[in-house]
Chains A and B, each alone.
Chain A
Amino acid sequence: MKKIHFVLIPVIVLFSCKGKNASHSSQLIAPADTSVSAAPSIAKELNTDLYGNWVGDFEVIEADFEKLKGQTISRLNIVIKQITDSGVIAQSVVNGNSRLMRGTMTQSDGKYVFVMDEPGDNKYDGRFNFTINGDTLAGKWQPYDTMLATKTSEFHLTKKPFVYNANVMLPKEWEYVDYVNSKERKESYKDEQSGVVDTFINTVYRAASEKVYQVNSSKQALKERDVKNLRRLDLQILRNTIFARHGYTFKSRAVRQFFDQVDWYVPVSDNVEAALSAVEKENIALLDRFEKYAKDNYDTFGR
Protein backbone atom coordinates (compact mmCIF):
# COMPACT_ATOMS: atom_id res chain seq x y z
CA MET A 1 0.00 0.00 0.00
CA LYS A 2 2.84 2.39 0.85
CA LYS A 3 4.10 2.23 -2.73
CA ILE A 4 0.74 3.09 -4.18
CA HIS A 5 0.50 6.13 -1.97
CA PHE A 6 3.85 7.36 -3.18
CA VAL A 7 2.82 7.12 -6.78
CA LEU A 8 -0.53 8.73 -6.29
CA ILE A 9 0.12 11.64 -4.02
CA PRO A 10 1.81 13.88 -6.63
CA VAL A 11 -0.77 12.90 -9.20
CA ILE A 12 -3.72 13.75 -6.96
CA VAL A 13 -2.25 17.08 -5.91
CA LEU A 14 -1.73 18.14 -9.49
CA PHE A 15 -5.15 17.13 -10.68
CA SER A 16 -7.09 18.53 -7.83
CA CYS A 17 -5.86 22.00 -8.83
CA LYS A 18 -6.77 21.31 -12.37
CA GLY A 19 -10.16 20.04 -11.47
CA LYS A 20 -10.96 23.48 -10.17
CA ASN A 21 -9.67 25.18 -13.29
CA ALA A 22 -11.70 22.94 -15.47
CA SER A 23 -14.95 23.55 -13.69
CA HIS A 24 -14.37 27.28 -13.93
CA SER A 25 -13.68 27.27 -17.62
CA SER A 26 -16.62 25.20 -18.80
CA GLN A 27 -18.97 22.42 -17.83
CA LEU A 28 -16.97 20.32 -20.10
CA ILE A 29 -17.86 17.13 -21.77
CA ALA A 30 -15.50 17.87 -24.59
CA PRO A 31 -12.29 15.97 -24.08
CA ALA A 32 -10.13 18.70 -25.58
CA ASP A 33 -9.83 21.12 -22.71
CA THR A 34 -7.31 23.61 -24.01
CA SER A 35 -7.84 26.17 -21.28
CA VAL A 36 -5.87 24.06 -18.89
CA SER A 37 -2.19 24.53 -19.24
CA ALA A 38 -0.29 21.60 -17.91
CA ALA A 39 3.34 20.71 -17.87
CA PRO A 40 4.06 19.27 -21.26
CA SER A 41 5.47 16.03 -19.88
CA ILE A 42 2.13 15.10 -18.30
CA ALA A 43 -0.49 13.48 -20.42
CA LYS A 44 -3.58 15.55 -21.08
CA GLU A 45 -6.44 14.79 -18.78
CA LEU A 46 -9.94 14.18 -19.88
CA ASN A 47 -13.24 14.49 -18.08
CA THR A 48 -11.86 15.60 -14.77
CA ASP A 49 -15.44 16.22 -13.66
CA LEU A 50 -15.78 12.47 -13.29
CA TYR A 51 -12.94 12.38 -10.77
CA GLY A 52 -13.61 11.65 -7.15
CA ASN A 53 -15.43 9.18 -4.95
CA TRP A 54 -18.36 7.24 -6.31
CA VAL A 55 -20.02 5.60 -3.37
CA GLY A 56 -22.88 3.20 -2.84
CA ASP A 57 -24.05 -0.36 -2.33
CA PHE A 58 -22.04 -3.27 -3.59
CA GLU A 59 -24.38 -6.22 -3.73
CA VAL A 60 -23.63 -9.85 -4.42
CA ILE A 61 -26.14 -10.98 -7.05
CA GLU A 62 -24.61 -14.22 -8.19
CA ALA A 63 -22.79 -16.52 -5.81
CA ASP A 64 -22.43 -19.83 -4.21
CA PHE A 65 -24.74 -18.54 -1.47
CA GLU A 66 -24.20 -21.53 0.77
CA LYS A 67 -20.54 -20.74 1.07
CA LEU A 68 -21.18 -17.04 1.35
CA LYS A 69 -22.13 -16.34 4.92
CA GLY A 70 -23.60 -13.16 6.31
CA GLN A 71 -24.49 -9.97 4.62
CA THR A 72 -24.29 -9.63 0.85
CA ILE A 73 -24.33 -5.85 0.67
CA SER A 74 -21.35 -3.71 1.54
CA ARG A 75 -20.27 -0.20 0.80
CA LEU A 76 -18.13 0.37 -2.27
CA ASN A 77 -16.15 3.42 -3.20
CA ILE A 78 -14.73 3.72 -6.70
CA VAL A 79 -12.27 6.58 -6.78
CA ILE A 80 -11.62 7.83 -10.29
CA LYS A 81 -8.21 9.39 -10.22
CA GLN A 82 -6.97 9.99 -13.68
CA ILE A 83 -8.38 9.78 -17.20
CA THR A 84 -6.04 10.32 -20.13
CA ASP A 85 -5.76 9.07 -23.68
CA SER A 86 -3.56 6.29 -22.50
CA GLY A 87 -6.03 4.99 -19.94
CA VAL A 88 -7.80 5.36 -16.64
CA ILE A 89 -6.47 5.03 -13.11
CA ALA A 90 -8.94 4.39 -10.35
CA GLN A 91 -9.12 2.78 -6.95
CA SER A 92 -11.69 0.40 -5.54
CA VAL A 93 -12.21 0.54 -1.79
CA VAL A 94 -14.49 -2.12 -0.37
CA ASN A 95 -14.51 -4.82 2.32
CA GLY A 96 -11.19 -3.80 3.74
CA ASN A 97 -9.36 -3.84 0.44
CA SER A 98 -8.10 -0.74 -1.30
CA ARG A 99 -7.00 -1.72 -4.80
CA LEU A 100 -5.54 0.28 -7.62
CA MET A 101 -7.22 -0.34 -10.97
CA ARG A 102 -6.17 0.43 -14.51
CA GLY A 103 -8.31 0.32 -17.58
CA THR A 104 -9.99 2.19 -20.36
CA MET A 105 -12.88 4.53 -20.95
CA THR A 106 -14.96 4.84 -24.06
CA GLN A 107 -17.75 7.26 -24.78
CA SER A 108 -21.07 6.48 -26.38
CA ASP A 109 -24.36 8.40 -26.37
CA GLY A 110 -23.08 10.74 -23.70
CA LYS A 111 -22.31 7.80 -21.44
CA TYR A 112 -18.88 6.79 -20.28
CA VAL A 113 -18.10 3.11 -20.35
CA PHE A 114 -15.26 1.84 -18.21
CA VAL A 115 -13.46 -1.48 -18.04
CA MET A 116 -11.13 -1.53 -15.07
CA ASP A 117 -8.81 -4.26 -13.82
CA GLU A 118 -7.47 -4.74 -10.32
CA PRO A 119 -3.82 -5.89 -10.14
CA GLY A 120 -4.57 -9.58 -9.64
CA ASP A 121 -2.20 -10.32 -6.79
CA ASN A 122 -4.97 -10.33 -4.20
CA LYS A 123 -7.40 -13.19 -3.80
CA TYR A 124 -10.33 -10.81 -4.18
CA ASP A 125 -9.09 -8.92 -7.24
CA GLY A 126 -11.28 -8.81 -10.31
CA ARG A 127 -12.66 -6.73 -13.14
CA PHE A 128 -15.04 -3.81 -12.88
CA ASN A 129 -17.33 -3.03 -15.81
CA PHE A 130 -19.31 0.13 -15.31
CA THR A 131 -20.99 3.03 -16.99
CA ILE A 132 -21.32 6.60 -15.84
CA ASN A 133 -24.57 8.05 -16.99
CA GLY A 134 -25.29 11.50 -15.61
CA ASP A 135 -24.90 11.32 -11.86
CA THR A 136 -24.95 7.53 -11.57
CA LEU A 137 -22.14 5.06 -11.86
CA ALA A 138 -23.50 1.53 -12.28
CA GLY A 139 -22.03 -1.78 -13.23
CA LYS A 140 -20.80 -5.18 -12.27
CA TRP A 141 -17.75 -6.78 -10.81
CA GLN A 142 -16.44 -10.28 -11.30
CA PRO A 143 -13.49 -11.87 -9.53
CA TYR A 144 -10.64 -13.38 -11.52
CA ASP A 145 -10.69 -16.36 -9.21
CA THR A 146 -13.60 -18.50 -10.31
CA MET A 147 -13.34 -20.57 -7.13
CA LEU A 148 -14.50 -17.65 -4.98
CA ALA A 149 -17.98 -17.92 -3.49
CA THR A 150 -18.94 -14.58 -5.01
CA LYS A 151 -19.42 -14.77 -8.76
CA THR A 152 -20.88 -11.38 -9.62
CA SER A 153 -21.59 -8.22 -7.66
CA GLU A 154 -23.61 -5.27 -8.78
CA PHE A 155 -23.31 -1.64 -7.78
CA HIS A 156 -25.08 1.67 -8.17
CA LEU A 157 -22.97 4.56 -7.00
CA THR A 158 -23.30 8.29 -6.75
CA LYS A 159 -20.64 10.88 -6.36
CA LYS A 160 -19.84 11.69 -2.79
CA PRO A 161 -16.86 13.69 -1.63
CA PHE A 162 -15.07 12.37 1.41
CA VAL A 163 -14.67 14.91 4.17
CA TYR A 164 -13.54 13.94 7.64
CA ASN A 165 -16.04 15.24 10.13
CA ALA A 166 -15.56 14.52 13.83
CA ASN A 167 -19.19 15.39 14.54
CA VAL A 168 -20.88 12.65 12.57
CA MET A 169 -22.53 9.92 14.65
CA LEU A 170 -24.21 6.61 14.01
CA PRO A 171 -27.92 7.19 13.33
CA LYS A 172 -29.94 6.84 16.52
CA GLU A 173 -32.99 5.45 14.74
CA TRP A 174 -31.24 2.15 14.15
CA GLU A 175 -30.68 -0.86 16.26
CA TYR A 176 -27.14 -2.13 16.39
CA VAL A 177 -27.28 -5.88 16.59
CA ASP A 178 -24.31 -8.11 15.95
CA TYR A 179 -25.64 -10.63 13.47
CA VAL A 180 -22.20 -11.96 12.62
CA ASN A 181 -21.22 -13.28 16.05
CA SER A 182 -24.07 -15.13 17.65
CA LYS A 183 -24.35 -17.64 20.43
CA GLU A 184 -26.50 -20.71 20.53
CA ARG A 185 -28.43 -21.39 23.65
CA LYS A 186 -30.39 -24.51 24.45
CA GLU A 187 -33.76 -24.06 25.99
CA SER A 188 -36.12 -26.77 27.13
CA TYR A 189 -39.88 -26.47 27.27
CA LYS A 190 -42.02 -29.03 28.96
CA ASP A 191 -45.43 -29.69 27.55
CA GLU A 192 -47.65 -29.81 30.65
CA GLN A 193 -50.19 -32.20 29.17
CA SER A 194 -48.05 -34.81 27.49
CA GLY A 195 -45.02 -34.28 29.74
CA VAL A 196 -42.79 -34.25 26.68
CA VAL A 197 -39.74 -32.05 26.95
CA ASP A 198 -38.75 -30.25 23.80
CA THR A 199 -35.34 -28.72 23.44
CA PHE A 200 -34.92 -25.74 21.21
CA ILE A 201 -31.70 -24.19 20.15
CA ASN A 202 -32.10 -20.45 20.14
CA THR A 203 -29.65 -18.20 18.43
CA VAL A 204 -28.84 -15.24 20.62
CA TYR A 205 -27.55 -11.99 19.17
CA ARG A 206 -25.92 -9.17 21.04
CA ALA A 207 -27.34 -5.69 20.77
CA ALA A 208 -25.40 -2.53 21.44
CA SER A 209 -26.59 0.08 23.91
CA GLU A 210 -27.68 3.64 23.07
CA LYS A 211 -24.18 4.78 24.06
CA VAL A 212 -22.93 3.93 20.58
CA TYR A 213 -24.80 6.91 19.15
CA GLN A 214 -24.57 9.12 22.22
CA VAL A 215 -20.86 9.10 22.94
CA ASN A 216 -18.64 10.85 20.41
CA SER A 217 -15.37 8.96 20.53
CA SER A 218 -13.66 11.40 18.15
CA LYS A 219 -14.33 14.59 20.13
CA GLN A 220 -14.76 13.66 23.77
CA ALA A 221 -11.57 12.70 25.61
CA LEU A 222 -12.94 9.55 27.22
CA LYS A 223 -12.18 8.71 30.83
CA GLU A 224 -12.24 5.23 32.29
CA ARG A 225 -15.45 6.01 34.15
CA ASP A 226 -17.16 6.90 30.85
CA VAL A 227 -16.66 3.42 29.44
CA LYS A 228 -16.58 1.17 32.50
CA ASN A 229 -20.19 0.11 32.26
CA LEU A 230 -20.08 -0.63 28.55
CA ARG A 231 -20.20 -4.12 27.13
CA ARG A 232 -17.64 -5.30 24.65
CA LEU A 233 -19.82 -4.65 21.60
CA ASP A 234 -20.37 -1.02 22.63
CA LEU A 235 -16.64 -0.56 23.11
CA GLN A 236 -15.89 -2.06 19.71
CA ILE A 237 -18.44 0.10 17.93
CA LEU A 238 -17.25 3.28 19.65
CA ARG A 239 -13.67 2.52 18.64
CA ASN A 240 -14.53 1.60 15.07
CA THR A 241 -16.70 4.69 14.61
CA ILE A 242 -13.47 6.70 14.88
CA PHE A 243 -12.01 4.74 11.98
CA ALA A 244 -15.25 4.98 10.00
CA ARG A 245 -15.20 8.77 10.27
CA HIS A 246 -11.78 8.71 8.68
CA GLY A 247 -13.04 6.58 5.81
CA TYR A 248 -11.33 3.40 6.87
CA THR A 249 -12.46 0.34 4.93
CA PHE A 250 -13.07 -2.52 7.36
CA LYS A 251 -11.93 -6.04 6.63
CA SER A 252 -14.09 -7.63 9.29
CA ARG A 253 -17.71 -8.34 8.42
CA ALA A 254 -18.53 -8.02 12.11
CA VAL A 255 -17.51 -4.37 11.91
CA ARG A 256 -18.80 -3.60 8.41
CA GLN A 257 -22.34 -4.57 9.37
CA PHE A 258 -22.60 -1.42 11.48
CA PHE A 259 -21.16 1.09 9.01
CA ASP A 260 -21.86 -0.03 5.47
CA GLN A 261 -25.35 1.47 5.50
CA VAL A 262 -24.44 4.69 7.26
CA ASP A 263 -25.04 7.70 5.06
CA TRP A 264 -21.86 9.61 5.85
CA TYR A 265 -19.57 6.59 5.66
CA VAL A 266 -17.27 6.77 2.65
CA PRO A 267 -14.54 4.14 2.61
CA VAL A 268 -11.44 5.75 1.17
CA SER A 269 -8.42 4.04 2.65
CA ASP A 270 -7.17 0.90 4.31
CA ASN A 271 -4.79 2.84 6.52
CA VAL A 272 -5.88 5.95 8.37
CA GLU A 273 -3.39 5.87 11.26
CA ALA A 274 -1.74 9.11 10.16
CA ALA A 275 -5.03 10.98 10.09
CA LEU A 276 -6.07 10.22 13.68
CA SER A 277 -6.24 13.14 16.08
CA ALA A 278 -4.57 13.05 19.50
CA VAL A 279 -7.93 12.61 21.25
CA GLU A 280 -8.84 9.78 18.91
CA LYS A 281 -5.53 8.01 19.50
CA GLU A 282 -5.99 8.16 23.26
CA ASN A 283 -9.57 6.98 23.03
CA ILE A 284 -8.56 4.08 20.81
CA ALA A 285 -5.91 3.01 23.34
CA LEU A 286 -8.41 3.27 26.20
CA LEU A 287 -11.16 1.40 24.36
CA ASP A 288 -8.66 -1.26 23.29
CA ARG A 289 -7.72 -1.91 26.92
CA PHE A 290 -11.34 -2.19 27.98
CA GLU A 291 -12.18 -4.47 25.07
CA LYS A 292 -9.32 -6.76 25.95
CA TYR A 293 -10.35 -6.78 29.60
CA ALA A 294 -13.96 -7.49 28.68
CA LYS A 295 -12.93 -10.30 26.37
CA ASP A 296 -10.69 -12.00 28.92
CA ASN A 297 -12.76 -11.45 32.02
CA TYR A 298 -16.43 -10.67 31.53
CA ASP A 299 -17.80 -14.20 31.50
CA THR A 300 -14.98 -16.05 33.22
CA PHE A 301 -13.97 -16.79 36.78
CA GLY A 302 -11.04 -14.41 36.60
CA ARG A 303 -10.76 -10.73 37.21
Chain B
Amino acid sequence: MYLYLKRVTNIILLIALAFFFFLMGEITTRYFPFSTTASFLQIKQTEVATLPWYLPVFYTHVYTSMFCLLAGFTQFNRNILKKQKTVHRTAGYLYIISVLIFSAPTGFFMGLYANGGIAAISFFVTLATLWWYFTWRAYTCARQKNFIAHRNFMIRSFALALSAITLRIWKVVLVHFFEPAPMDLYIVISGLGWIPNLLIAEYIIHKQTVK
Protein backbone atom coordinates (compact mmCIF):
# COMPACT_ATOMS: atom_id res chain seq x y z
CA MET B 1 0.00 0.00 0.00
CA TYR B 2 2.76 2.39 1.01
CA LEU B 3 4.71 1.49 -2.11
CA TYR B 4 1.64 1.99 -4.25
CA LEU B 5 1.03 5.45 -2.75
CA LYS B 6 4.61 6.35 -3.37
CA ARG B 7 4.37 5.33 -7.00
CA VAL B 8 1.21 7.37 -7.49
CA THR B 9 2.83 10.39 -5.85
CA ASN B 10 5.84 10.01 -8.12
CA ILE B 11 3.65 9.90 -11.21
CA ILE B 12 1.71 12.97 -10.09
CA LEU B 13 4.93 14.86 -9.43
CA LEU B 14 6.27 13.89 -12.84
CA ILE B 15 3.08 15.08 -14.53
CA ALA B 16 3.28 18.36 -12.59
CA LEU B 17 6.89 18.77 -13.63
CA ALA B 18 5.95 18.09 -17.25
CA PHE B 19 3.16 20.65 -17.02
CA PHE B 20 5.38 23.37 -15.59
CA PHE B 21 8.19 22.42 -17.94
CA PHE B 22 5.76 23.09 -20.75
CA LEU B 23 4.83 26.49 -19.25
CA MET B 24 8.50 27.39 -18.90
CA GLY B 25 8.90 26.45 -22.56
CA GLU B 26 6.11 28.82 -23.42
CA ILE B 27 7.86 31.62 -21.52
CA THR B 28 11.08 30.85 -23.38
CA THR B 29 9.30 31.19 -26.73
CA ARG B 30 8.53 34.82 -25.89
CA TYR B 31 12.23 35.48 -26.43
CA PHE B 32 12.16 34.17 -30.01
CA PRO B 33 13.08 35.92 -32.18
CA PHE B 34 15.79 37.79 -30.33
CA SER B 35 14.67 41.27 -29.33
CA THR B 36 16.03 43.94 -27.03
CA THR B 37 12.56 44.67 -25.69
CA ALA B 38 11.00 41.20 -25.39
CA SER B 39 8.77 40.48 -22.39
CA PHE B 40 10.82 40.95 -19.17
CA LEU B 41 13.24 43.24 -21.01
CA GLN B 42 10.45 45.80 -21.35
CA ILE B 43 11.14 46.83 -17.78
CA LYS B 44 14.92 46.30 -18.00
CA GLN B 45 15.80 48.95 -20.56
CA THR B 46 18.05 50.79 -18.10
CA GLU B 47 20.29 47.72 -17.84
CA VAL B 48 20.00 46.99 -21.57
CA ALA B 49 21.16 50.54 -22.33
CA THR B 50 23.90 50.90 -19.75
CA LEU B 51 25.39 47.41 -19.29
CA PRO B 52 26.84 46.01 -22.53
CA TRP B 53 27.01 42.49 -21.05
CA TYR B 54 23.40 42.43 -19.87
CA LEU B 55 21.69 41.21 -23.06
CA PRO B 56 24.13 38.35 -23.81
CA VAL B 57 24.00 37.21 -20.19
CA PHE B 58 20.22 37.48 -20.08
CA TYR B 59 19.69 35.56 -23.31
CA THR B 60 22.17 32.86 -22.30
CA HIS B 61 20.16 32.41 -19.10
CA VAL B 62 16.84 32.28 -20.94
CA TYR B 63 17.97 29.90 -23.67
CA THR B 64 19.92 27.42 -21.52
CA SER B 65 17.95 27.21 -18.29
CA MET B 66 15.23 25.01 -19.72
CA PHE B 67 17.76 22.18 -20.00
CA CYS B 68 18.38 22.17 -16.24
CA LEU B 69 14.79 21.18 -15.58
CA LEU B 70 15.08 18.16 -17.90
CA ALA B 71 17.18 16.44 -15.23
CA GLY B 72 14.03 16.07 -13.14
CA PHE B 73 12.61 13.53 -15.59
CA THR B 74 15.53 11.14 -15.56
CA GLN B 75 17.92 11.65 -12.66
CA PHE B 76 15.65 10.69 -9.77
CA ASN B 77 14.29 7.58 -11.41
CA ARG B 78 15.54 4.46 -9.67
CA ASN B 79 15.36 2.30 -12.80
CA ILE B 80 17.42 4.65 -14.89
CA LEU B 81 19.83 5.15 -12.01
CA LYS B 82 20.43 1.46 -11.58
CA LYS B 83 20.03 0.03 -15.07
CA GLN B 84 20.68 2.82 -17.56
CA LYS B 85 23.90 4.27 -16.27
CA THR B 86 24.79 5.89 -19.61
CA VAL B 87 21.47 7.73 -19.67
CA HIS B 88 22.08 8.95 -16.13
CA ARG B 89 25.60 10.03 -16.95
CA THR B 90 24.69 11.83 -20.19
CA ALA B 91 21.75 13.65 -18.63
CA GLY B 92 23.95 14.42 -15.65
CA TYR B 93 26.60 16.07 -17.79
CA LEU B 94 23.95 18.07 -19.60
CA TYR B 95 22.68 19.33 -16.24
CA ILE B 96 26.11 20.07 -14.79
CA ILE B 97 27.28 21.95 -17.88
CA SER B 98 24.02 23.93 -18.11
CA VAL B 99 24.19 24.93 -14.47
CA LEU B 100 27.90 25.48 -13.89
CA ILE B 101 28.80 27.19 -17.14
CA PHE B 102 25.58 28.88 -18.20
CA SER B 103 22.54 29.18 -15.92
CA ALA B 104 24.06 29.79 -12.49
CA PRO B 105 26.77 32.30 -13.51
CA THR B 106 24.32 34.25 -15.69
CA GLY B 107 21.78 34.11 -12.89
CA PHE B 108 24.41 35.52 -10.54
CA PHE B 109 25.18 38.51 -12.78
CA MET B 110 21.51 39.19 -13.49
CA GLY B 111 20.89 38.95 -9.77
CA LEU B 112 23.32 41.81 -9.17
CA TYR B 113 20.89 44.05 -11.03
CA ALA B 114 17.65 42.41 -9.92
CA ASN B 115 14.44 44.37 -9.62
CA GLY B 116 13.39 45.05 -6.06
CA GLY B 117 16.56 46.56 -4.63
CA ILE B 118 19.07 45.22 -2.14
CA ALA B 119 16.77 42.57 -0.60
CA ALA B 120 15.91 40.92 -3.91
CA ILE B 121 19.52 41.27 -5.09
CA SER B 122 20.80 39.46 -1.99
CA PHE B 123 18.26 36.68 -2.39
CA PHE B 124 18.99 36.11 -6.08
CA VAL B 125 22.75 36.33 -5.71
CA THR B 126 22.68 33.86 -2.80
CA LEU B 127 20.45 31.55 -4.80
CA ALA B 128 22.85 31.58 -7.76
CA THR B 129 25.89 31.08 -5.55
CA LEU B 130 24.39 28.17 -3.63
CA TRP B 131 23.10 26.59 -6.82
CA TRP B 132 26.52 26.69 -8.41
CA TYR B 133 28.22 25.43 -5.25
CA PHE B 134 25.84 22.49 -4.69
CA THR B 135 26.11 21.47 -8.33
CA TRP B 136 29.88 21.71 -8.26
CA ARG B 137 30.09 19.64 -5.07
CA ALA B 138 27.68 17.08 -6.53
CA TYR B 139 29.95 16.79 -9.54
CA THR B 140 33.18 16.40 -7.58
CA CYS B 141 31.58 13.87 -5.23
CA ALA B 142 30.52 11.78 -8.20
CA ARG B 143 34.05 11.94 -9.58
CA GLN B 144 35.30 10.76 -6.18
CA LYS B 145 32.68 7.99 -6.24
CA ASN B 146 31.11 9.33 -3.08
CA PHE B 147 27.62 8.67 -4.37
CA ILE B 148 25.70 9.39 -1.19
CA ALA B 149 27.15 12.89 -0.99
CA HIS B 150 26.61 13.20 -4.74
CA ARG B 151 22.95 12.33 -4.33
CA ASN B 152 22.50 14.76 -1.42
CA PHE B 153 24.10 17.66 -3.23
CA MET B 154 22.09 16.93 -6.36
CA ILE B 155 18.88 16.95 -4.33
CA ARG B 156 19.84 20.41 -3.03
CA SER B 157 20.92 21.57 -6.47
CA PHE B 158 17.76 20.47 -8.20
CA ALA B 159 15.60 21.93 -5.43
CA LEU B 160 17.14 25.28 -6.32
CA ALA B 161 16.71 24.64 -10.04
CA LEU B 162 13.02 24.17 -9.34
CA SER B 163 12.88 27.70 -7.93
CA ALA B 164 12.30 28.79 -11.54
CA ILE B 165 8.90 27.12 -11.20
CA THR B 166 8.11 27.64 -7.52
CA LEU B 167 8.93 31.34 -7.68
CA ARG B 168 6.34 31.78 -10.41
CA ILE B 169 3.76 29.67 -8.60
CA TRP B 170 4.18 31.82 -5.48
CA LYS B 171 3.76 34.90 -7.61
CA VAL B 172 0.41 33.73 -8.98
CA VAL B 173 -0.79 32.73 -5.51
CA LEU B 174 0.29 35.97 -3.80
CA VAL B 175 -1.19 38.16 -6.53
CA HIS B 176 -4.44 36.26 -6.32
CA PHE B 177 -4.81 36.87 -2.60
CA PHE B 178 -3.04 40.14 -1.90
CA GLU B 179 -2.42 41.99 -5.18
CA PRO B 180 0.75 43.58 -3.82
CA ALA B 181 2.65 46.29 -5.67
CA PRO B 182 4.89 44.61 -8.27
CA MET B 183 8.25 45.17 -6.59
CA ASP B 184 6.99 44.33 -3.10
CA LEU B 185 5.84 41.08 -4.62
CA TYR B 186 9.17 40.59 -6.33
CA ILE B 187 11.15 40.93 -3.11
CA VAL B 188 8.94 38.34 -1.41
CA ILE B 189 9.15 35.78 -4.20
CA SER B 190 12.90 36.26 -4.64
CA GLY B 191 13.25 34.59 -1.24
CA LEU B 192 10.09 32.52 -1.09
CA GLY B 193 10.94 31.06 -4.49
CA TRP B 194 13.85 28.96 -3.21
CA ILE B 195 14.24 28.96 0.59
CA PRO B 196 11.32 26.55 1.25
CA ASN B 197 12.64 24.39 -1.61
CA LEU B 198 15.98 24.10 0.12
CA LEU B 199 14.32 23.28 3.45
CA ILE B 200 12.32 20.51 1.80
CA ALA B 201 15.50 19.24 0.17
CA GLU B 202 17.22 19.08 3.58
CA TYR B 203 14.22 17.23 4.97
CA ILE B 204 14.36 14.67 2.16
CA ILE B 205 18.10 14.21 2.68
CA HIS B 206 17.62 13.87 6.42
CA LYS B 207 14.91 11.25 5.96
CA GLN B 208 16.99 9.21 3.51
CA THR B 209 20.06 9.39 5.74
CA VAL B 210 18.10 8.16 8.75
CA LYS B 211 16.79 5.24 6.72
Contacts and interface: CB of A to CB of B under 8 A. Distances in A.
A184 interface: no
A-side binding surface: helix, strand, loop or mixed? loop
B182 A231 contact: yes
Interface stretch (A42-50, A89-97, A285-293): A285-293
Interface in B24-44: 26-27, 30, 37, 39-40, 42-44
Contacts of B171: 301, 303
B42 A293 contact: yes
A296 B181 CA distance: 15
A298 interface: yes
Contacts of A303: 27, 39-40, 168, 171
A298 to B, nearest CB: 6
A224 B46 contact: yes
Contact of A290 (B39, B43, B176, B184): B43
Interface in A273-303: 286, 289-290, 292-294, 296-303
A251 interface: no
A223 interface: yes
A229 interface: yes
Contacts of A301: 23, 27, 168-169, 171-172
A289 B45 contact: yes
A290 B39 CA distance: 10
Contacts of B169: 301
B43 A224 contact: yes
B184 A229 contact: yes
B30 A302 contact: yes
Contacts of B183: 228-229
B172 A293 contact: no
B-side binding surface: helix, strand, loop or mixed? helix
B37 A289 contact: yes
Contacts of B179: 231
Contacts of A224: 43-46
B39 A297 contact: yes
Given A228-B115, A289-B37, A303-B168, A298 B43 contact: no
Contacts of B37: 289
B21 to A, nearest CB: 12
Contacts of A228: 43, 115, 182-183
B-side interface size class? 20 to 34
A131 B177 CA distance: 54
B114 to A, nearest CB: 11
B182 to A, nearest CB: 6
Contact of A293 (B27, B39, B46, B184): B39
Interface string A227-246: 01111000000000000000
Contacts of A299: 172, 175-176
Contacts of A230: 181-182
A261 interface: no
A184 to B, nearest CB: 14
A49 B181 CA distance: 51
What 8 A-B pairs have minimum CB-CB distances, sorted nearest first? A229-B183, A289-B42, A293-B42, A299-B175, A224-B46, A229-B181, A301-B168, A302-B27
Interface of B: 23, 26-27, 30, 37, 39-40, 42-46, 115, 168-169, 171-172, 175-176, 179, 181-184
16 contacts: A223-B46, A224-B45, A228-B182, A230-B182, A290-B43, A296-B39, A298-B175, A298-B182, A300-B172, A301-B169, A301-B171, A301-B172, A302-B26, A302-B27, A302-B168, A303-B40
Given A223-B46, A229-B181, A303-B168, 16 more contacts: A209-B181, A224-B44, A228-B182, A229-B182, A230-B182, A289-B37, A297-B40, A299-B172, A300-B172, A302-B23, A302-B26, A302-B27, A302-B168, A303-B39, A303-B40, A303-B171
